[in-house]
Structure 1
Amino acid sequence: MKTIFTILFTLFAVFLSAQDVAILKYKGGGDWYSNPTALPNLVKYCNDNIDTDINESVQTVEAGSTDIFQFPFLHMTGHGNVFFSDDDAENLRNYLISGGFLHIDDNYGMEPYITKELKKVFPNNELIEIPKDHAIFSSAYEFSNGLPKIHEHDGKAPQAYGIFNDSRLVLLFTFESDLGDGWEDQEVHNDPEDVREKALKMGANIIKYAFEN
């Protein structure tokens, strides 16, 4: 056990000094690989507009790997099933309470699966709706009305949910917004430029908040 914690501490010390982000690969058959241009585009936007210096070569890490400790920010998306093994859940919990941040963006259809699996990660914590005056909505750009709507699915308002640990937001779940679609190359979804700009600005808020808290 001591060896495991020594490894985790070393990996965490590495990611504290880095500005790297990664896509989280998970089990269950869901398309964790959807929106392939989204995170690279967001990284470039942040580097160009909010003075970050993030490695633009976005990597992929598995939920159960200690490699996640190399990244202060993880992004997860998809449409379908999600499954975390007990080891995956423990690894993610250790990562998040040690200072990591996970953004989960429902690309449509993910919500019933991820909410169930998050109970394995934090059995005693509920996803709660984040108030519109939370710092994540103003860390770089002002979103006084909260999460922006990027793509329409079921006619529902966009909602931002979170899990807090010792008052720190460690996990953000964006629902009925589809931020990642707005981050993708313009020709993928043909979104108007102002819609893409809203998505990228909200993404920049998330990145800035994750790096500074």
Structure 2
Amino acid sequence: MKKTIFLILLFATSSCFAQEIALLKYNGGGDWYANPTSLPNLIKFCNATINTKLKSKPRTVEPSSPDLLSYPFIHMTGHGNVVFNDAEVINLRNYLLAGGFLHIDDNYGMDEYIRKEIKKIFPNDNLIEIPSNHVLFQKPFIFNNGLPKIHEHDGKRPQAFGIFIKGKLVLLYTYECDLGDGWEDSEVHNDPYEVREKALKMGANIINYIFTN
């Protein structure tokens, strides 16, 4: 209860003071540090287009850290293995139940590992595919077909999966999409402006959801 109250008070002040978001540094061998320019670019875009007041440089936080509670949004990405130990599972669960939000973006190759780790966090809940009419895809930017396709990977359709607690999305897993690559500096992947803009707008929708729902 105290943690929940803490997060409510923390997030409520975000409209007046600059708020920080964070990148999750996990164990297992996966490259948690992939896409170094993505979060700074997303922050810049959100501050310019949806009137957020996010600090320009994201923090790095580990799953076991009590500092998780300092961040309303935590982003996780990579290409390979992910392992959460028991203490990390408990801490992540407590963070999400207290009002935090975790966005996991498969940078290609994470899927077979991260699904097992999500199940550790919420053993009694299944990932649910989020339909295109969900508010996540409706404001402030409209995505009538749901999650946009940024990079091809295996050529499968992009899918957004979520864990919902009392009707609220607390964990978002984006698959076959690669939003983080789309947030990177243009010269990193040479994506055209239209593709990067779609990725940034979808990212802004995620940030907007956190602060308005």
TM-score, length basis structure 1: 0.94
- State the AA in 1 paired with 2:27: K
Q: Which residue of 1 aligns with 2:142?
A: 142
Quote the Cα distance in structure 2 between the aligned partners of 1:178 and 1:9. Answer: 31
CA offset at residue 12 of structure 1? 2.8
Specify the SS of the correspondent of 1:105: strand
Tell me if the contact between 1:73 and 1:211 (Cα under 8 Å) persists in the aligned partners: no
CA offset at residue 66 of structure 1? 0.8
Quote the Cα distance in structure 1 between the aligned partners of 2:4 and 2:102. Answer: 19
**CA deviation digits over 1:5-25, x for unaligned, max 9?**
76x468535632243210011
- State the AA in 2 paired with 1:25: K
Quote the Cα distance in structure 2 between the aligned partners of 1:42 and 1:48. Answer: 10
The 3 A distance-change label for structure 1 pair 13 and 161 is closer
CA offset at residue 210 of structure 1? 1.3
The 3 A distance-change label for structure 1 pair 207 and 9 is closer
Specify the SS of the correspondent of 1:23: strand
Q: Which residue of 2 aligns with 1:208?
A: 208
Q: Which residue of 1 aligns with 2:94?
A: 94
Quote the Cα distance in structure 1 between the aligned partners of 2:106 and 2:157. Answer: 13
Quote the Cα distance in structure 2 between the aligned partners of 1:174 and 1:9. Answer: 26
Q: Which residue of 1 aligns with 2:7?
A: 12
The within-5 A match list for 1:121-160 is 121-160=121-160
Q: Which residue of 2 aligns with 1:59?
A: 59
CA offset at residue 113 of structure 1? 0.5
Tell me if the contact between 2:4 and 2:99 (Cα under 8 Å) persists in the aligned partners: no
**CA deviation digits over 1:10-57, x for unaligned, max 9?**
853563224321001111111000000001100000001111111112
Quote the Cα distance in structure 1 between the aligned partners of 2:57 and 2:34. Answer: 17
Tell me if the contact between 1:11 and 1:70 (Cα under 8 Å) persists in the aligned partners: no
Tell me if the contact between 1:24 and 1:75 (Cα under 8 Å) persists in the aligned partners: yes
List runs of 5+ in structure 2 lacking aligned partners.
none
Tell me if the contact between 2:8 and 2:99 (Cα under 8 Å) persists in the aligned partners: no
List runs of 5+ in structure 1 lacking aligned partners.
none
Q: Which residue of 1 aligns with 2:176?
A: 176
**CA deviation digits over 1:90-136, x for unaligned, max 9?**
11111111111111000000011000011110010001100110000
Quote the Cα distance in structure 2 between the aligned partners of 1:12 and 1:131. Answer: 28
Specify the SS of the correspondent of 1:203: helix
Tell me if the contact between 2:34 and 2:78 (Cα under 8 Å) persists in the aligned partners: yes
Tell me if the contact between 1:81 and 1:113 (Cα under 8 Å) persists in the aligned partners: yes
Q: Which residue of 2 aligns with 1:27?
A: 27
Q: Which residue of 2 aligns with 1:107?
A: 107
Q: Which residue of 1 aligns with 2:120?
A: 120
CA offset at residue 139 of structure 1? 2.0
Quote the Cα distance in structure 2 between the aligned partners of 1:206 and 1:115. Answer: 20
Q: Which residue of 1 aligns with 2:48?
A: 48
Q: Identify the range of structure 1 (16-25 vs 128-137) with the bigger mean alpha-carbon deviation.
A: 16-25
Quote the Cα distance in structure 2 between the aligned partners of 1:11 and 1:51. Answer: 24
TM-score, length basis structure 2: 0.94
Tell me if the contact between 1:96 and 1:102 (Cα under 8 Å) persists in the aligned partners: yes
Quote the Cα distance in structure 2 between the aligned partners of 1:161 and 1:56. Answer: 28
Q: Which residue of 2 aligns with 1:196?
A: 196
